[in-house]
Every structure is written in structure tokens, then in C-alpha cells.
Amino acid sequence: MSRHNGLILRTSDVSNFDQKYSIFTEKFKLIYIINDDTTNLQTTIDYLHTKHPDWNKYTIIQSTELTRSDIEYVVKFDDLLELTNIPSQHIYILLTMENINSTESWHQYNIFKLNNHHHNFSLALEYTDTTVSIENFQYWLTEPISFILFPTTSTTSSSTPDFIFNIFQQKSIPIPLLIIEDIPQYEQKLLYLKNISKPHYQYYSQPLQPLVEDLSMGIYKQFESDNTKYNQYQQAFELAISDLTRLKLPRIKILIIGPGTGKLIDKLWKVLDKKLLPNYDILAIEKNPICVPILNEKNTKSWNNKIQIINQDIQKYTGDNNYNLIISELIGSFGDNELCPEILSQFNQPRPDLIMIPNSYTSFLQPIYTPFKIKKISLIKLGNYYPISQPQEMWNWNHPGEYELTQTKSLTFANAQGYKISGFLGWFECTLYGHVQIQCHDVNLGNYCKSWYPIYFPIHKSKLKPNQDLLVEFNRINNGENVWYEYKFLNKVYNQHGVSYCMSLQHS
């Protein structure tokens, strides 16, 4: 189907066809017939046939009489279930806003599709002023949507479908074809709204391997643009320094692991300057050689040469472990997928005079369906998907604290409305220190950090039944050389032995 706007002809308005058709060839590539007077349907078809012998190639008919095999038909959702003879050609199922808001309609649609799986369907929307439930709409948006219909009953309204366009935008879906009746009144405004409602992009990439590959300056700049993260770190530093000061230690020893180009130290320096802390030592260990000259320059210009900077892999560090404050930003999108538990294990023995930032983090998992095709474990900025069940906690890491580096968890999810599953979405929630937290999932919370994308664990797309319990077995495996996740769903094991994704413990 062309993505140009369509011209609407009503069979009840045959007398005005010449006037309307005169603008068809100039502005439109599609004719949309609304069969609101069945006695005139054949007259309408005869009229179009006189205009062009191939009229049927650019015409679709909204009707319950699906009699021709050379036409694509539009059937209202409420009429769909009454059909007995469904033709073999493509059919557009026209949803109202009321249908979208109805959970029952979603179930009816999926059952109909299951019973007629050999037919070719796609969805279309009929716009009305009814407010749409975004929670319900997200299910429908994972299905192909061919066009939005704006009949006279909607175009005479003073409202505009900004909220519908915004949902398409947020879900990273291009706004489909617009078929508009009463063109002079409504066309320009709708087309303007469509043009400015560009979809957010969906993005995915392979997870970072910071122990194996040194990060580029471009990645550091992207990370350091996350003001929420560093402001939260600064709050955590203030709480930690205040608590350590109360211990009346003769000297506070601070270790910073992986400071990158120094933004963490900048935030720490502001706190130390504010607290007027007299006696402290700071050691920064950074393995990436491109960062060290930047750190040295900042040390001279901004930090009064108070920072001892070592260019070394922290895993090879054999110096003093008796620090009072250990700071790092080694958390990955899933919490532990950049090997934070392994890297910090040598410092993790609890002591009354030891604070580690981050203090703890928890991994979460949620089954989802997305039409977006991803075959490997990836970091993903995903718009068009629906959750199948509520997220559940996987495992938790505490610093300092004792833990096993190999973890196993089985989770059972209750499926309410999902009929398909494509994979599992994972993310972290982290307590830096005290009440200060960060997370990478809920953009509506003030502690959301944009520099992490959730992680996605794909599976073979599978059909589901409502109220079906979904069991997934998840393993985090550390064999001393590599760390990887294996997960089992519907008797199939994914990423076995880390075949498509594993994290190396050896720095190249």
C-alpha cells in the first residue's frame, strides 16, 4: 500500500463522486470506499472502472460483504467475529479506540488470528475522541498497523490526535498512512502533526567488555553526559564522607577504581572541598592508557596534585587494601555483566571503617514480546514491546559482603495478556550509599540514568496462552577465565557455554 494519504468515497454519496475524484490523481494514490449504502456498491465500482481499468489495484473497500477476490477489504473489528467466509486476499481489521481499550477485544483478536492463521491480516485504526489506554495500546502496536482512518465524525471535531501520534513516537513506530475525509478542513493540520512526530530510534549493541577492550573517548563522553548518575554519586560521597568523619579516623584513605577521564574525581573533589577534610589520601587506578594524560592534567590544574594516579589493571594491584572508601562505576546494564563482583572481590571483606560505593545492586528480569528482531544478547533501547508479566528480582550483590560468583535462579512468571514471547529484558537497581539510588529502566523516576541501556536476552519467538505460567532457569557461570549467562526456557538452553556472549576475566 502506498504511504500517501487516501481519498475516501462513500457509496451513499455517489452523486458527488466526480467532484471528489477530480483531486484524486493529483493528491492521492489510494481510494478508500466506505460501503455505507450497500445498494450503491456496484455503482461505485462501475464508476471507478470507467475511470481506470486497474481501479482495483489502488482501492480498498470497508464492507462486510467480502465477495470479490481481486479487492482488499477492510472489516470493522466488531463485525469480524461474525464472518463465515473469509477470502484469501489481505484483510485490514479496523479497530476503534473502544476496541483498543478493551482487554476482551485483544483476546478475541488473538483467538480469531489463531483460528485463521492461514489468512493474511493487518490492523488499522479508526480515530475518535475517545482517550486511549496506553497500557492496552502497547499490545496492539506490536501488530502491523497499515493506516489510521479519519472519517467525517472525527474530522469535524475540534480536537487533534496528538496523543495518538505521541504514542507512536514513544514506541519508536513510524506513523502509518493517514486516510482523511473532509480534506480541506483537516488535511494540513494532520500532515503537520505527522511530520513533526518522528519516531524515537530503537538501538541495540553488543554489551561492553571493559576488561578486554579499552573504551574509546567517544564512549567516555557519552557516559559523562549522564548528569543524573554523577549527581547521585556526589550525594553518596557527601553521606559517606560525613559518616567516615564521625569515626574520627586519623587519616581517610580513598581508592578510586577506573576513574576514566576524571568526572568521578571531580564530584569527589567538590565534596572534599566543601567538607574541608584535612587528612586524606586518594589513589586512582586506571587501566586505560588514553585516560592517564587527561587525569594527570586535571591533577595539576584542578586537584592540587592530591591524587596519586597509577596506570594499571586493578586485578594486578598488589598494594595496600586497607582503604576506608572505595569508589567505582563498574556496574553493567544487568548489574554484574561488566564483572563488578569479580573486580571488587579482593576488597570486599567487611570492616567497620570501610564504605564501598556502590554499596549494593540488584538484577531484574521481565519477559516481553517485541517484533524487533534481535538474535544475540544485546544492550537495547527498545520502544515497541509489551511486558508479559511483572519484573522479578534475580540476584543481589553487596559491597562489602560475601557472595558466590556463580549464581543460579529459577523464576516463574504469570502471563496475563501475552500471546507471544520474544525474550527477557534485564536491568539493575543500585544503592550507591545510604538512601541514594540509581537505575536504568524507569525513565519517569528521578534516579534514572541514561548512560545504561537495559540488556535483552532473546529466545526463539514462541506462542503463549493467557494465564500460562512461564518458567525460566537462569545461570551466571564463572569458570575462572570467563563469565557468562545460560538460560533455559521451554526446554531450550540459550547461550550455552557462552557461545554468543561471555565476559573475559583476562585483560588483553
155: three-class secondary structure by DSSP: helix
One domain, residues 221 and 192: no
Read off the pLDDT of residues 136-146 as tens digits, 9 standing for 90 and up: 999 999 999 99
One domain, residues 143 and 228: no
Predicted confidence at residue 213, as pLDDT, reads: 85
Examine residue 139 and state whether it is found in any structural domain, yes or no: yes
- Quote the DSSP letter at residue 335: B
Q: How is 281-310 classified by DSSP, letter by letter?
A: EEEEEE--TTTHHHHHHHHHHTSTT-EEEE
CATH number at residue 131: 3.20.20
One domain, residues 240 and 127: no
One domain, residues 415 and 490: yes
Say whether pLDDT at 154 is over 60. no
d(Cα 240, Cα 374) in Å, to the nearest integer? 42
d(Cα 478, Cα 484) in Å, to the nearest integer? 7
Predicted confidence at residue 3, as pLDDT, reads: 44
One domain, residues 302 and 234: yes
Q: How is 167-215 classified by DSSP, letter by letter?
A: HHHHTT----EEEESSHHHHHHHHHHHHHH-PPPPPEEEPPP-TTTSPP
One domain, residues 177 and 260: no
One domain, residues 187 and 285: no
Domain end, chosen from 200, 226, 256, is at 200
Read off the pLDDT of residues 226-245 as tens digits, 9 standing for 90 and up: 999 999 999 999 999 999 99
More confident residue, 443 or 301: 301
Say whether pLDDT at 81 is over 70. yes
- How many structural domains compose the chain? 2
Read off the pLDDT of residues 407-448 as tens digits, 9 standing for 90 and up: 999 999 999 889 999 999 999 999 999 999 999 999 889 999
One domain, residues 41 and 132: yes
One domain, residues 443 and 299: yes
Say whether pLDDT at 4 is over 60. no
Q: Give the whole-number percent of the chain exceeding pLDDT 70.
A: 92
Examine residue 158 and state whether it is found in any structural domain, yes or no: yes
Domain end, chosen from 200, 226, 257, is at 200
One domain, residues 171 and 247: no
One domain, residues 21 and 127: yes
Say whether pLDDT at 198 is over 60. yes
Read off the pLDDT of residues 182-193 as tens digits, 9 standing for 90 and up: 655 566 666 666
State which residues form the domain around 325: 217-504
82: three-class secondary structure by DSSP: coil
Predicted confidence at residue 186, as pLDDT, reads: 62
Examine residue 291 and state whether it is found in any structural domain, yes or no: yes
Domain end, chosen from 143, 168, 200, is at 200
Mean pLDDT, residues 104-122: 89
Is the distance from CB of 94 to CB of 75 less than 8 angstroms? yes
CATH number at residue 283: 2.70.160.11
Let me know how many helices (H) and strands (E) the chain has, helices first: 15, 26
Calculate the CA 302 to chain-centre distance.
39
Examine residue 208 and state whether it is found in any structural domain, yes or no: no
470: three-class secondary structure by DSSP: strand
Say whether pLDDT at 22 is over 90. no
One domain, residues 35 and 120: yes
Query: Which pTM was predicted?
Result: 0.90
